[in-house]
Structures are given as structure tokens and as C-alpha cells.
Amino acid sequence: MLRELATASNCAQNSGMTIDFQIDPSRYRHWRIELADEIAYLVMDVDPAGGLSSDYELKLNSYDLAVDIELADAVQRLRFEHPRVRAVVIMSGKDNVFCAGANIRMLGKATHAHKVNFCKFTNETRLAIEDASENSKQIYLCAVNGPAAGGGYELALAAEHIMLIDDRRSSVALPETPLLAVLPGTGGLTRVTDKRKVRRDLADVFCSIEEGVRGQKAVDWRLVDEAVPNSKWKEAVAARAKELAARSDRPADATGIALTPLRREISEDRIHYPHVEVEIDRTRAIATVTLRGPSAPVPASIDASFWPLAMARELDDALLHLRANESAIGVVVFRTEGDASAVLAYDDRLSADGDWAIREVRHYLKRVLKRVDMMAKSLVAVIEPGSCFAGTLAEVVFACDRAVMLIGARDGENRPPAAVTLGQMNFGAYPMGNGISRLTQRFLGEPASVETARATIGRSLAAEDAETLGLVTFSYEAFDFDDELRVMLEERASFSPDALTGMEANLRFAGPETMETKIFGRLTAWQNWIFQRPNSVGQQGALKLYGSGVQPTYDKERV
């Protein structure tokens, strides 16, 4: 029996229905894509009645997860389906307001898990916008016409260039701390300081006032790039968009890749796609994700069926489903099936330079692998006979908290012995949020091991070799393998999920600190904590009492 899917326009986050992250422009209720040759206008015009729940209205272009699901889809489609677009203008479709940020009623009613996952998905979408400007050369401009508060300003912060109407009404603000007793949770604090390089004391003032900053002061404080009089607004936005478009190398005559609907079947304990299978064991709190290697040779041209793109889209959807709808699943086991040489053949195609479509697929794979890194679940790779953990798929092994490998084959096994095969794509093609490859992070204390591993590119590495090289955590003989794996997973399930989440989030991001790791680190630690504190979410907390006219009551002790 298929589970009931709730679309992004009618699902309540606390209703027990399944949140669906699949959407297409024909079903958008909050965004429009308007094309003008090499410039696209991404217009935010939120339907107040189009949220995940009927318990609140999305007034003043405020948003919830339904709005962000559409935004993420629009950003993705612009990159793949519109190669001619070189600049994207984010703007409001409503008069006198840009965006009031995350809907406060939604946050006040949401479960803790929903609030945190909402912030995480929103962060990932903002980072995808920045990635589009930097790596797809589809450069984003934000045209702020009216107040941009909280998440509204954080949306603007994701753009390469911010324009603000210079009038008495339009402003930018991060009022979460004085109004709601929480942090600007989609990277606002980090982008203000690390990206916009706003002076610390001015940032302190900015984040402590409700009314925000307007006009030339916003420019002087580096909160926006320019303030433009209303009389010159449309012409100035169009001219700036053309300037940004001139910096792009996007092709003028390429045909886009239509992102056709996923072929997906969801039942009570299984999600089936052509290249990805998810099996859910709720009794043991384990989900097993099996990735299938390519079954067809590398094609001459690329469409939505191109194996790396199709597999990435399916894995992305599966990860979001597990995150949003299976919060009690504590362990995700990754397996693969297929021919390692076929995976490496596709990797050869992905490593080619000069093709905009290949570039998009490669950067999408990078973003999906980052989604793996950000799963608040224990991740275990299991490498058995018939596996194809090679090249791009081997990245999953290095994203996991542990990897276990069977030595040789089981009695009567007619599939190839368990092996790991490295490829060129494992050495920098898919950087983590800290800016380095997973292998570089793995061997922070032994950099020579990276070069030793590089020397094995293309070789099928048996269990003993993979363990000696440090590519897997443990290898076991066939007679021990199943028992050792079972004990490991049972032990993992016996630990505190809170402690594990904190431990994993720390251990996964060793090495350099970047704006991205700071954003997620602050979300994982501080916002996660604040979202559980009575000063914000208690009955007398700011988030609960917002709009009631009653002042919140704070516990004044600092921790």
C-alpha cells in the first residue's frame, strides 16, 4: 500500500503525512520564473493560503518549507533547463514588501525537528544559489523593494549583488534576537560578517534592532551594495543584471536538460527508484540505501536519464525524505550494486572540461554528497561482493562515519569479490563544505596517504589493501562479517541520538573552517539548542508570544 504523499501546498508538518520535495513550475504557488533573453527574473509572490499547514497564513511574503521547496526547484531548473540564462534577479511580486522572513506562526507551532530541518534545507538552498553564481556562472542579483526582514534579508544575502530602493519604507533587518529570542537561522550572522564583512560592532547593532537599516547607511555598513531612488529603480536593476550577465560564460545556443518527474514508488517500508532503493527497518531504526551503478554505456548526449544525473536526483530525494519523514531512523547503511568499470567510464565523461551540462551534473553531485555529509544520522558503508564503490560512488564511503568490507567472497558467491576502486573524481571534484576533498580530510594527519591512495587510481582494491590504505574502517572474513556488522549497528542504536548527532557533526568536518561550516555549525549547535530553550519556545517565550501583545518572560541566567 502506497503511503499518502502530501504536496508542498497542503501538508501539515505535524500531521503525520509525508512531506514531498518533488515539485515543478506548473504547480508553483509562490514563485514565478520570467525569462528575458539572458536574464531570468525569479519573482517571489507567496500565496498566503499555500503553506504546509492551514494553521497559519503566509502574509507579507513570509515563507515556510513549501515556499523553500519551490525555490530550491526553481534554482535547480534555471541551472539545468535554461543554459542561456546568465543572470538571475530575485525580486518581490508584491508592492511595498520584499519578504518578511520565515513565518513566525509556523515556527511557533512546528515540532523541534521540523524547525531544525526547515532551517537546514533553507541553508542548503541559499548555498545552492551562491554555488550557481560561483560555479555555474548564473549570477544572482537581489532587488530589495520594501522591507526585507530576517530570512527575507538572508535570501538577499545569498545573492552576489544586493540593490535596495532608497526610500523611507525599504530596509534590511535581522530582528530574530530582539523579537524571537533565536538566531538568524539561515546563515544571516555568518554572511553578514564573513561574506559582507560588516564590522563586528556595527553587526552587533544591526542584529539588535527591530527596524533594520535603510538607504545609504545600509550601503555604508556594507549590508547592501547600492541604494537606488525609486524613480530610477527598474532601469538600474536591468542595467546591473546586464553587467552581471556579461561576466558569465554560459552558452548562448545550448539546449537545456528537462528535469522530468522522478519515477518513484513509496510504500510503508520501501522507496523504489530506478537507480536507488531505500529499505526501512523501523524496529531496528535502520534505513538501507542501495545505489545501483549504470546499466547502459556512456551516451553521446546528456538528458535527464544520464546515469550520474538520474542517480543524483533520486538520492537527493531519498535523503530529503529520510530527513523530513523518518526522524526516528538513526542509522543509514549505504550499499551499491553494479560494475565498477561502468561507474569509472561515466566518471571519465564527468571529468571532461568545457561542457556546461557536464559542469552542472558535477556540481549537482557535489551538492548531493554534501547533503549526505549533513544527515543527522549515523552513516555506515557496507562493501560486499557485487558492490561498485568506485570513483564518484566511492565518495559515499568517505562521507560515512564508518565503512566495513567483506574479505573476498562468501561460499557459493558468484559475484565479483568486494572491492573499492578510486578514480580521478575522488581527488578534488567534490569538495566538502570545508573546501577540501573527503580523502584530504580523511588523511589530515598523514597527507602522504593521499598520494599513496592516488597511485592506486583505477585498481580494484581488495579488503586487505583498502584497510591498509585507510580507505575502510574494518574488514572481516565472510564467517564473521554478518555478526560483526549486526553488533556494530546494534551498538550504534543503543547510544543517545543527541550525543551521536553532536559527535558526528563535529567529526565529519575536520580541517579548515569556511563560511559554510560556520553556518551549519551554528545551526547544529546553537540554533538547535536555542530552539529548545524556554526563552524562545516556552509558554512565556518570545516565539510563542510573538504578536500577542504580551511581553516574554526570560530566564536571565547565562549558560
pLDDT digits (tens, 9 = 90+) for 447-462: 999 999 999 999 999 9
Does residue 163 sit within a domain?
A: yes
Angle at 91 between CA 89 and CA 97, to 5 degrees: 160
Does residue 330 sit within a domain?
A: yes
Does residue 521 sit within a domain?
A: no
Please give the torsion angle defined by the CA atoms of residues 504, 505, 510 and 516, in that order, rounded to the nearest 10 degrees.
160
Whether the per-residue pLDDT at 1 is higher than 90: the answer is no
Whether the per-residue pLDDT at 136 is higher than 70: the answer is yes
274 and 235 within one domain: no
414 and 368 within one domain: yes
For residues 3 and 484, which has the higher predicted lDDT (pLDDT)? 484
DSSP one-letter string for 53-97: -TTS--GGG-B-HHHHHHHHHHHHHHHHH-TT--EEEEEESSTT-
Cell digits of residue 328: 526516528
* pLDDT at residue 216, rounded to an integer: 97
Whether the per-residue pLDDT at 7 is higher than 90: the answer is no
237 and 274 within one domain: no
Per-residue confidence band for 18, with pLDDT thresholds at 50, 70 and 90: confident
Per-residue confidence band for 411, with pLDDT thresholds at 50, 70 and 90: confident
377 and 286 within one domain: yes
The closest alpha carbon to 10, from 38, 50, 41, belongs to 50
373 and 284 within one domain: yes
Whether the per-residue pLDDT at 279 is higher than 60: the answer is yes
Does residue 50 sit within a domain?
A: yes
Residue 255: other Cβ atoms inside 10 A: 12
182, 212, 245: which is the final residue of a domain? 245
pLDDT digits (tens, 9 = 90+) for 137-187: 999 999 999 999 999 999 999 999 999 999 989 999 999 999 999 999 889
Q: How many CA atoms lie within 13 A of 432 on its CB side?
A: 26
Does residue 542 sit within a domain?
A: no
Whether the per-residue pLDDT at 129 is higher than 60: the answer is yes
Question: Pairing state of beta strands 270-272 and 460-461?
Answer: unpaired
Tell me if 483 sits within 8 A of 404, measured CB to CB: no
Dihedral over Cα of 9, 79, 399, 440: its sign: negative
217 and 168 within one domain: yes
CATH of the domain at 85: 3.90.226.10
| Mean pLDDT value across residues 515-536 | 92
Per-residue confidence band for 353, with pLDDT thresholds at 50, 70 and 90: confident
490 and 356 within one domain: yes
DSSP code of 354? S
Does residue 124 sit within a domain?
A: yes
* pLDDT at residue 185, rounded to an integer: 85
* pLDDT at residue 66, rounded to an integer: 97
* pLDDT at residue 352, rounded to an integer: 84
Whether the per-residue pLDDT at 407 is higher than 60: the answer is yes
488, 507, 526: which is the final residue of a domain? 507
* pLDDT at residue 397, rounded to an integer: 98
pLDDT digits (tens, 9 = 90+) for 296-308: 999 999 999 999 9
Helices assigned H by DSSP within 264-413: 307-325, 340-350, 356-373, 394-399
| Mean pLDDT value across residues 497-513 | 94
The span from the CA of 516 to the CA of 222, in Å, is 20
Question: What mean pLDDT, rounded, does the chain reach?
Answer: 94
Domain span at 207: 22-245
Per-residue confidence band for 354, with pLDDT thresholds at 50, 70 and 90: confident
The span from the CA of 556 to the CA of 559, in Å, is 10
Residue 454: other Cβ atoms inside 10 A: 13
461 and 337 within one domain: yes
* pLDDT at residue 10, rounded to an integer: 41
Label residue 304 exposed, middle or buried (CB < 10 Å: 0-12, 13-18, 19+).
middle
| Mean pLDDT value across residues 66-83 | 98
Does residue 59 sit within a domain?
A: yes
152 and 273 within one domain: no
317 and 218 within one domain: no
Whether the per-residue pLDDT at 3 is higher than 60: the answer is no
Count the domains in the chain. Answer: 2
Tell me if 125 sits within 8 A of 71, measured CB to CB: yes
Whether the per-residue pLDDT at 14 is higher than 80: the answer is no
470 and 327 within one domain: yes
Does residue 424 sit within a domain?
A: yes
What share of the chain has pLDDT > 70, as a percent? 97
For residues 18 and 203, which has the higher predicted lDDT (pLDDT)? 203
169 and 138 within one domain: yes
The closest alpha carbon to 457, from 351, 370, 356, 355, belongs to 351
* pLDDT at residue 16, rounded to an integer: 60
